Amino acid sequence: MTTYRTAKFSELPLILDWAADEGWNPGLEDAEVFFAADSAGFFVAVDPQDKPIASISVVNHTADFAFLGLYIVRQEFRGRGVGLGLWKQALKHAGSRTVGLDGVEAQQNNYRASGFVYAGTTTRFTGLLTERASREIQVADPREIPTLIQMEAAASGVSKPNYLRPWLTRSSTRTTFAKRENSASVGFCTIRRCQTGAKIGPLVAPNIDVARELIAHAAQGIDGPISMDVPETSTALTELCKTMGWQPCFNTARMYKREFGASGHNCFAVTSLELG
Protein backbone atom coordinates (compact mmCIF):
# COMPACT_ATOMS: atom_id res chain seq x y z
CA MET A 1 0.00 0.00 0.00
CA THR A 2 1.29 3.45 -0.96
CA THR A 3 1.26 6.20 1.66
CA TYR A 4 2.17 9.88 1.50
CA ARG A 5 4.20 11.93 3.94
CA THR A 6 6.45 14.95 4.31
CA ALA A 7 9.96 14.28 3.05
CA LYS A 8 12.93 14.37 5.40
CA PHE A 9 15.94 16.54 4.63
CA SER A 10 18.02 13.38 4.33
CA GLU A 11 15.78 12.31 1.42
CA LEU A 12 16.32 15.44 -0.67
CA PRO A 13 19.62 14.22 -2.18
CA LEU A 14 17.80 11.11 -3.40
CA ILE A 15 15.04 13.26 -4.94
CA LEU A 16 17.64 15.44 -6.64
CA ASP A 17 19.34 12.31 -7.99
CA TRP A 18 15.98 11.39 -9.51
CA ALA A 19 15.86 14.87 -11.03
CA ALA A 20 19.30 14.28 -12.51
CA ASP A 21 18.07 10.99 -13.99
CA GLU A 22 15.29 12.98 -15.67
CA GLY A 23 17.90 15.26 -17.26
CA TRP A 24 17.18 18.31 -15.09
CA ASN A 25 20.84 18.72 -14.02
CA PRO A 26 20.38 20.04 -10.45
CA GLY A 27 23.02 22.09 -8.65
CA LEU A 28 25.55 20.43 -6.38
CA GLU A 29 24.27 22.22 -3.25
CA ASP A 30 20.58 22.66 -4.03
CA ALA A 31 19.25 20.49 -1.21
CA GLU A 32 20.21 22.80 1.64
CA VAL A 33 18.81 25.92 0.01
CA PHE A 34 15.61 24.24 -1.16
CA PHE A 35 14.91 22.91 2.33
CA ALA A 36 15.57 26.32 3.88
CA ALA A 37 12.84 27.83 1.69
CA ASP A 38 10.12 25.71 3.35
CA SER A 39 11.13 22.61 5.29
CA ALA A 40 7.53 21.36 5.29
CA GLY A 41 7.12 21.77 1.53
CA PHE A 42 8.61 18.48 0.27
CA PHE A 43 6.61 15.27 -0.01
CA VAL A 44 7.12 11.65 -0.96
CA ALA A 45 5.02 8.64 -1.74
CA VAL A 46 6.46 5.57 -0.02
CA ASP A 47 6.03 1.83 -0.37
CA PRO A 48 5.12 -0.46 2.57
CA GLN A 49 8.78 -0.45 3.65
CA ASP A 50 8.71 3.39 3.80
CA LYS A 51 10.95 3.61 0.73
CA PRO A 52 10.28 6.71 -1.42
CA ILE A 53 8.88 5.95 -4.86
CA ALA A 54 7.68 9.44 -5.92
CA SER A 55 8.29 13.06 -4.95
CA ILE A 56 6.87 16.55 -5.24
CA SER A 57 7.48 19.94 -3.67
CA VAL A 58 4.96 22.65 -2.91
CA VAL A 59 7.03 25.39 -1.31
CA ASN A 60 5.19 28.27 0.37
CA HIS A 61 7.20 31.40 -0.42
CA THR A 62 4.74 33.92 1.07
CA ALA A 63 1.29 34.00 2.62
CA ASP A 64 -0.11 34.34 -0.91
CA PHE A 65 2.23 32.41 -3.21
CA ALA A 66 3.64 28.87 -3.48
CA PHE A 67 5.59 27.03 -6.17
CA LEU A 68 5.30 23.39 -7.22
CA GLY A 69 8.21 21.33 -8.53
CA LEU A 70 10.25 18.12 -8.28
CA TYR A 71 7.19 16.13 -9.40
CA ILE A 72 8.73 12.75 -10.16
CA VAL A 73 7.32 9.23 -10.11
CA ARG A 74 9.86 6.46 -10.51
CA GLN A 75 9.40 4.71 -13.83
CA GLU A 76 8.28 1.35 -12.44
CA PHE A 77 5.47 2.97 -10.42
CA ARG A 78 3.95 5.13 -13.14
CA GLY A 79 0.40 4.53 -14.32
CA ARG A 80 -0.84 3.36 -10.91
CA GLY A 81 -2.24 6.63 -9.55
CA VAL A 82 0.73 7.13 -7.24
CA GLY A 83 1.62 10.52 -8.69
CA LEU A 84 -1.94 11.87 -8.67
CA GLY A 85 -2.44 10.87 -5.05
CA LEU A 86 0.80 12.58 -4.04
CA TRP A 87 -0.10 15.65 -6.11
CA LYS A 88 -3.43 16.08 -4.33
CA GLN A 89 -1.86 15.54 -0.92
CA ALA A 90 0.94 18.05 -1.51
CA LEU A 91 -1.29 20.80 -2.89
CA LYS A 92 -3.09 20.92 0.45
CA HIS A 93 0.08 22.47 1.86
CA ALA A 94 -0.46 25.58 -0.30
CA GLY A 95 -3.90 26.27 1.19
CA SER A 96 -5.52 29.20 -0.61
CA ARG A 97 -2.25 30.49 -2.08
CA THR A 98 -1.65 31.05 -5.77
CA VAL A 99 0.55 28.16 -6.98
CA GLY A 100 3.00 28.39 -9.87
CA LEU A 101 4.88 25.66 -11.71
CA ASP A 102 7.22 25.12 -14.64
CA GLY A 103 6.03 21.82 -16.03
CA VAL A 104 6.71 19.64 -19.04
CA GLU A 105 4.66 21.09 -21.88
CA ALA A 106 3.21 17.68 -22.75
CA GLN A 107 1.55 17.54 -19.31
CA GLN A 108 -0.36 20.81 -19.67
CA ASN A 109 -3.75 19.12 -19.95
CA ASN A 110 -3.13 17.22 -16.72
CA TYR A 111 -2.19 20.44 -14.95
CA ARG A 112 -5.26 22.18 -16.36
CA ALA A 113 -7.42 19.45 -14.86
CA SER A 114 -6.14 20.63 -11.46
CA GLY A 115 -7.02 24.24 -12.18
CA PHE A 116 -3.72 25.51 -13.58
CA VAL A 117 -3.74 28.07 -16.39
CA TYR A 118 -1.00 28.49 -18.97
CA ALA A 119 0.93 31.77 -18.63
CA GLY A 120 3.88 31.34 -21.01
CA THR A 121 6.91 29.29 -21.99
CA THR A 122 10.27 29.11 -20.25
CA THR A 123 13.21 28.02 -22.41
CA ARG A 124 16.50 26.58 -21.19
CA PHE A 125 19.37 27.94 -23.27
CA THR A 126 22.76 26.25 -23.03
CA GLY A 127 26.14 27.06 -24.49
CA LEU A 128 29.76 28.01 -24.00
CA LEU A 129 31.07 31.50 -23.49
CA THR A 130 34.43 33.23 -23.45
CA GLU A 131 34.95 34.55 -19.95
CA ARG A 132 35.70 38.21 -19.44
CA ALA A 133 36.36 39.90 -16.09
CA SER A 134 34.79 43.27 -15.37
CA ARG A 135 36.11 45.76 -12.82
CA GLU A 136 32.54 46.95 -12.21
CA ILE A 137 31.34 43.48 -11.19
CA GLN A 138 32.15 42.02 -7.80
CA VAL A 139 31.02 39.18 -5.57
CA ALA A 140 27.84 40.37 -3.86
CA ASP A 141 28.33 41.75 -0.38
CA PRO A 142 26.14 39.94 2.18
CA ARG A 143 24.83 43.35 3.26
CA GLU A 144 23.30 43.96 -0.19
CA ILE A 145 21.40 40.66 -0.36
CA PRO A 146 18.11 42.29 0.80
CA THR A 147 18.43 44.74 -2.10
CA LEU A 148 19.07 41.91 -4.57
CA ILE A 149 16.04 40.04 -3.24
CA GLN A 150 13.95 43.14 -3.92
CA MET A 151 15.36 43.38 -7.44
CA GLU A 152 14.48 39.76 -8.13
CA ALA A 153 10.98 40.27 -6.73
CA ALA A 154 10.44 43.23 -9.05
CA ALA A 155 11.48 41.05 -12.00
CA SER A 156 9.65 37.83 -11.06
CA GLY A 157 6.55 39.31 -9.46
CA VAL A 158 6.94 37.81 -5.99
CA SER A 159 9.39 38.11 -3.10
CA LYS A 160 11.01 34.85 -1.94
CA PRO A 161 13.32 35.83 0.94
CA ASN A 162 13.58 32.45 2.70
CA TYR A 163 14.64 30.89 -0.59
CA LEU A 164 16.87 33.62 -1.99
CA ARG A 165 18.69 34.65 1.18
CA PRO A 166 20.73 31.42 1.34
CA TRP A 167 20.74 31.09 -2.47
CA LEU A 168 22.47 34.47 -2.87
CA THR A 169 24.91 33.75 -0.03
CA ARG A 170 28.23 32.50 -1.37
CA SER A 171 29.06 28.82 -0.99
CA SER A 172 31.74 26.52 -2.38
CA THR A 173 29.73 25.93 -5.58
CA ARG A 174 27.50 29.00 -5.86
CA THR A 175 28.46 32.67 -6.25
CA THR A 176 26.40 35.80 -6.79
CA PHE A 177 27.92 38.70 -8.71
CA ALA A 178 26.61 42.28 -8.70
CA LYS A 179 27.21 44.97 -11.29
CA ARG A 180 27.63 48.37 -9.64
CA GLU A 181 27.34 51.89 -10.97
CA ASN A 182 28.00 54.80 -8.63
CA SER A 183 28.23 52.31 -5.73
CA ALA A 184 24.69 51.03 -6.39
CA SER A 185 23.80 47.59 -7.74
CA VAL A 186 22.10 47.80 -11.13
CA GLY A 187 22.08 44.10 -11.97
CA PHE A 188 23.19 40.75 -10.63
CA CYS A 189 23.36 37.04 -11.34
CA THR A 190 24.04 33.84 -9.46
CA ILE A 191 26.03 31.00 -11.01
CA ARG A 192 26.08 27.54 -9.48
CA ARG A 193 27.97 24.44 -10.42
CA CYS A 194 25.79 21.52 -11.43
CA GLN A 195 26.33 17.85 -12.16
CA THR A 196 27.18 19.00 -15.67
CA GLY A 197 28.60 22.47 -16.18
CA ALA A 198 26.79 25.31 -14.42
CA LYS A 199 23.57 27.32 -14.41
CA ILE A 200 22.96 31.03 -14.11
CA GLY A 201 19.86 32.09 -12.22
CA PRO A 202 18.53 34.39 -11.14
CA LEU A 203 19.78 37.04 -13.50
CA VAL A 204 18.33 40.55 -13.35
CA ALA A 205 19.71 43.27 -15.58
CA PRO A 206 18.49 46.65 -16.84
CA ASN A 207 19.57 45.90 -20.42
CA ILE A 208 21.28 43.40 -22.68
CA ASP A 209 24.74 44.95 -22.26
CA VAL A 210 24.73 44.55 -18.48
CA ALA A 211 23.38 41.01 -18.84
CA ARG A 212 26.17 40.07 -21.26
CA GLU A 213 28.78 41.58 -18.93
CA LEU A 214 27.42 39.69 -15.91
CA ILE A 215 27.33 36.36 -17.77
CA ALA A 216 30.86 36.75 -19.14
CA HIS A 217 32.20 37.65 -15.71
CA ALA A 218 30.38 34.76 -14.00
CA ALA A 219 31.75 32.31 -16.56
CA GLN A 220 35.28 32.63 -15.16
CA GLY A 221 36.64 29.28 -14.04
CA ILE A 222 33.62 27.30 -15.26
CA ASP A 223 34.36 24.16 -17.24
CA GLY A 224 31.62 22.89 -19.49
CA PRO A 225 28.34 24.36 -20.69
CA ILE A 226 26.37 27.08 -18.94
CA SER A 227 22.56 27.15 -18.92
CA MET A 228 19.86 29.73 -18.16
CA ASP A 229 16.09 29.33 -17.85
CA VAL A 230 14.55 32.29 -19.66
CA PRO A 231 10.82 33.21 -19.61
CA GLU A 232 9.35 34.19 -22.96
CA THR A 233 8.65 37.66 -21.57
CA SER A 234 12.42 38.16 -21.23
CA THR A 235 12.77 39.12 -24.87
CA ALA A 236 16.09 40.93 -24.49
CA LEU A 237 17.70 37.99 -22.70
CA THR A 238 16.32 35.56 -25.27
CA GLU A 239 17.94 37.59 -28.06
CA LEU A 240 21.22 37.69 -26.12
CA CYS A 241 21.25 33.90 -25.79
CA LYS A 242 20.75 33.57 -29.54
CA THR A 243 23.48 36.15 -30.23
CA MET A 244 25.90 34.21 -28.00
CA GLY A 245 25.14 31.04 -29.95
CA TRP A 246 23.45 29.31 -27.04
CA GLN A 247 20.98 26.64 -28.05
CA PRO A 248 17.45 26.02 -26.69
CA CYS A 249 17.53 22.63 -24.93
CA PHE A 250 13.91 22.26 -23.86
CA ASN A 251 10.82 24.25 -22.92
CA THR A 252 8.57 24.20 -19.89
CA ALA A 253 5.09 25.63 -19.48
CA ARG A 254 4.74 28.25 -16.75
CA MET A 255 1.27 27.81 -15.26
CA TYR A 256 -0.59 29.24 -12.28
CA LYS A 257 -3.45 28.06 -10.15
CA ARG A 258 -5.35 31.22 -9.16
CA GLU A 259 -4.48 34.72 -10.28
CA PHE A 260 -0.90 35.93 -10.49
CA GLY A 261 0.36 39.15 -12.05
CA ALA A 262 3.87 38.47 -13.34
CA SER A 263 5.96 41.57 -14.06
CA GLY A 264 7.17 40.68 -17.55
CA HIS A 265 10.74 41.96 -17.04
CA ASN A 266 12.56 41.67 -20.39
CA CYS A 267 16.05 40.81 -19.07
CA PHE A 268 15.47 38.18 -16.41
CA ALA A 269 16.34 34.50 -15.86
CA VAL A 270 14.55 32.46 -13.21
CA THR A 271 16.35 31.11 -10.17
CA SER A 272 15.33 27.48 -10.72
CA LEU A 273 12.56 25.51 -12.39
CA GLU A 274 12.06 23.60 -9.14
CA LEU A 275 11.25 26.49 -6.75
CA GLY A 276 10.68 29.38 -9.14
Give the model confidence (pLDDT) of 202-258 as tens digits: 999 999 999 999 999 999 999 899 999 999 999 999 999 999 999 999 999 999 999
**DSSP per residue, 166-187:** HHTS--SSEEEEEEEETTEEEE
> pLDDT per residue over 105-149, tens digit each?
888 889 999 999 999 999 999 999 888 999 999 999 999 999 999
pLDDT at position 259 is 84
Main-chain phi, psi angles of 178, to 5 degrees: -120, 135
Burial track 98-107 (b if 16+ CB lie within 10 A, e otherwise) = bbbbbbeeee
Q: What is the mean pLDDT of the chain?
A: 95
pLDDT at position 1 is 86
pLDDT at position 28 is 97
Are 216 and 130 in contact, with CB atoms under 8 Å apart? yes
Checking if the pLDDT of 262 tops 80, the result is: no
> pLDDT per residue over 160-185, tens digit each?
999 999 999 999 999 999 999 988 89
Checking if the pLDDT of 11 tops 90, the result is: yes
pLDDT at position 131 is 82
pLDDT at position 174 is 98
Cut 0.85: pTM above it:
yes
pLDDT at position 203 is 98
pLDDT at position 261 is 79
Coil/strand/helix, residue 121: strand
Least confident of 28-37, 98-107, 232-241, 260-269: 260-269
pLDDT band at 80 (very low <50, low <70, confident <90, very high): confident
Strands 98-104 and 137-139: unpaired
Are 141 and 254 in contact, with CB atoms under 8 Å apart? no
